[in-house]
A = this chain, B = another copy of it.
Amino acid sequence: MLDQDVRLTEDAVRKIVREEVERAFKKDPAKKRMSLISSKGTLDWAYPPLILATAGAATGMDVAIFFTFYGLTVIHRDFEKLLKVSPVANPGMPMPVPMPDIVTALPGMTSFATGMMKSKFSKKGVASIRELIDVAIESDVRLIACQMTMDVFGYEEKDFLDGVEFGGAAAFMSEARKSHVTLFI
Q: Which of A44-86 contact B (CB under 8 A)?
A: 44, 47-48, 51-52, 55-56, 58-59, 61, 68-71, 73, 82-86
Interface pair B152/A120, CB less than 8 Å apart: yes
Q: How many copies does the complex hold?
A: 3
Q: Is A158 an interface residue (CB 8 A)?
A: no
Name the B residues within 8 Å of A90 (CB-CB). Answer: 41-42, 70, 86, 89
Interface pair B106/A124, CB less than 8 Å apart: no
Q: Is A129 an interface residue (CB 8 A)?
A: no
Bound Cα distance A169, B34 (Å): 13
Name the B residues within 8 Å of A47 (CB-CB). Answer: 69
Name the B residues within 8 Å of A28 (CB-CB). Answer: 25, 30
What count of chain A residues pass the 8 Å CB interface test? 91
Q: Which residues of A does B touch, CB under 8 Å?
A: 1-2, 4-5, 7-10, 12-14, 16-18, 20-22, 24-25, 28-32, 34, 37, 39-42, 44, 47-48, 51-52, 55-56, 58-59, 61, 68-71, 73, 82-86, 88-94, 100-102, 104-110, 120-121, 124, 126, 148, 151-154, 168-170, 172-173, 176-185
A-B contact pairs, 14 of them (CB 8 A): A2-B10, A4-B9, A8-B8, A42-B91, A48-B184, A55-B170, A83-B92, A85-B91, A86-B101, A100-B109, A176-B181, A180-B182, A182-B183, A184-B184
